[in-house]
Amino acid sequence: MELNSILNTKVWLLIIATMHMIMGVGASYAELGSDHLALIGFWAAVGFYLIYAGLMTEGQEQARLAAVLCGPVFVWFVIAAGMDLDMAGQPAAPLPEAILPMILWGMPALCGVMGWNIDEAAPAEESA
């Protein structure tokens, strides 16, 4: 498998958007019910930002959105796991369960950082 196929920003954004909408919104609503609609609504908003970044942007713009949307969430998971934080009465990032979300949020962030200047790397045309 080629490294470029693993570091596809669009694919990772759509994977995390799908997982965020299914697990963050759907499963949380099923588990927490309507008592936490504000929190569930926030998770849905984040999911729509990720869908937008994955489907409506490309190149440098997509890479930068992936880095700024997913990087802080990855860092939050690391901090939440390290400090044993809780959210809505549940552990926010219990280990080892938090390893998969860390990977899923870390990969688009990594792709975004690696592609931050992707469009600027093209050589400028020389005038004759």
C-alpha angle 46-33-13 in degrees, rounded to nearest 5: 20
The pLDDT value recorded for residue 124 is 55
Q: List, as one string, the DSSP characters of 13-49.
A: HHHHHHHIIIIIIIIHHHHHGGGGHHHHHHHHHHHHH
pLDDT(26) > 70: yes
* Paired tokens of 30: 């099923």
- The pTM for the full model equals 0.83
- Cα–Cα distance measured from residue 44 to residue 53, given in angstroms and rounded to the nearest whole number: 14
Task: Report residue 92 CA to chain centroid gap.
Answer: 16
pLDDT in tens, 52-99: 999 999 999 999 999 999 999 999 999 999 999 998 788 999 999 999
pLDDT in tens, 116-127: 988 765 555 555
Are the C-beta atoms of residues 11 and 115 closer than 8 Å to each other? no
